[in-house]
Amino acid sequence: QRLKAAVHYTVGCLCQDVAEDKDMQFSKQTIAAISEITFRQCGYFLILCRHAKRSTVTTEDVKLLARRSSSLLKYITQKSEEIVSSNMEQKEKKKKKSSADKGGRTSGEREAVVTESEDSNMA
């Protein structure tokens, strides 16, 4: 019941934002209908995940459910790709930072130090 109320509240906030942007109004019945549809759709997500024996809804699951609406599928795919590329950039930044923190040398400089020490050991 609390989850359903939270969905209703969130849908109400989103409708209010859209109403302000588009200079229009949503009736209470419309907000209630959108909330109910949203809540039921989330139930379908859960059924899909249980059927697939998963406990987590993935982006591929969402795309599968949105396949009937080409514009929605296109939007979800675009946002998914943006998130993936953003995550990749963050990982690259962390990698560069952690390698710089480990002695402050680049891989080329580390190889030169190793080669020098090998040369001195052979002499």
Look-up of token digits 């009736």: 27
Q: Top-level CATH class of 1-54?
A: mainly alpha
What is the C-alpha to C-alpha distance for residues 6 and 62, in angstroms, rounded to an integer?
A: 21
The pLDDT assigned to 14 comes to 94
Check: CB of residue 11 under 8 Å from CB of residue 19.
no
Look-up of token digits 């946002």: 79
Hey, where are the domains in the chain? 1-54, 58-92
Average pLDDT across each block of 10 residues of the chain; the chain has 123 residues. List them in order: 93 94 94 94 82 83 87 92 90 79 54 44 42
The pLDDT assigned to 102 comes to 64
The pLDDT assigned to 2 comes to 92
